[in-house]
Amino acid sequence: MKKHVAGRKFSRDTTSRRAMYRALVRDFFMHDSLTTTSAKAMTILPIIERLIASAKSSTLSQRRSVYSFLGNDRKTTDKIYEFSKKMKTTAGGYLKYVNLPSRKGDNAPLTRIELSQKLENSLVKKGVSGGKKADTTKVDGAKKSNVTLSEPEQSALKKNSESAKKGSISNVLQKLSLKRKARD
């Protein structure tokens, strides 16, 4: 009799099950989210949380446990350590799951696992003053960077960028017509 046996078998033997878990974990870290059946999602959720938590502590034994689960997959382990560095302040609950409509083919309930916090891009830096940031746009062929601007400066920039876009489109059309005439 099976009493108090934890875990799911998914109609697989132990090695196939472990390979499936490893593949799901790799997919999650490579794409920052994972859509799978609810049973697989509920099984893989604590595994991913444990991997992130063990990657947060930089002891040798914890690093070896991460490597032993993932094998020799350098891209995924780098991603795990990147996530763990960004989540140093949080104590747990790194992931959330969102229930999706059932799959059409076999009516299996689907779930998407994603990060509970959006990771900010480390390249984006906040402005010093309280003004809004201007969007990165190309004006007259030069790329403008994210700079904090006041309201009047932002409106002037938008007007200039719109007129520059119109001008650049007309310039491109003129160049194309000249090229066609040169061919003929």
Write the pLDDT tens digit of every residue in 97-148: 899 999 999 999 999 999 887 765 433 344 444 444 444 444 445 444 444 5
Residue 4 in domain:
no
- State the pairing for strand pair 132-133/138-139: unpaired
Residue 38 in domain:
yes
HSE-up of residue 20 (Cα within 13 Å, Cβ side): 17
The CA distance from 54 to 49, in Å, is 9
pLDDT by residue, tens only, the chain of 184 residues: 778 888 889 999 999 999 999 999 999 999 999 999 999 999 999 999 999 999 998 789 998 999 999 887 888 888 898 888 888 888 888 999 899 999 999 999 999 999 887 765 433 344 444 444 444 444 445 444 444 555 655 665 565 555 555 556 666 666 667 766 776 6
158 lies in which domain range? 132-183
Q: Which of 90, 115, 140 is the last residue of a domain?
A: 115
Amino acid, single-letter form, for residue 183: R
Rounded to two decimals, what is the model's pTM?
0.61
Same-domain pairing of 111 and 146: no
Residue 156 in domain:
yes
Six token digits for residue 87: 């989540």
- State the pairing for strand pair 142-143/138-139: antiparallel
Same-domain pairing of 37 and 98: yes
Q: Which of 115, 141, 164 is the last residue of a domain?
A: 115
The pLDDT value recorded for residue 2 is 77
- Edge-first strand order for the sheet with 33-37 is 33-37, 110-115, 95-100
Number of domains in the chain: 2
Same-domain pairing of 108 and 151: no
**Which CATH number belongs to the domain containing residue 18 in this structure?**
3.90.1030.10
- 100, 92, 121: which is closest to 32 by C-alpha? 121
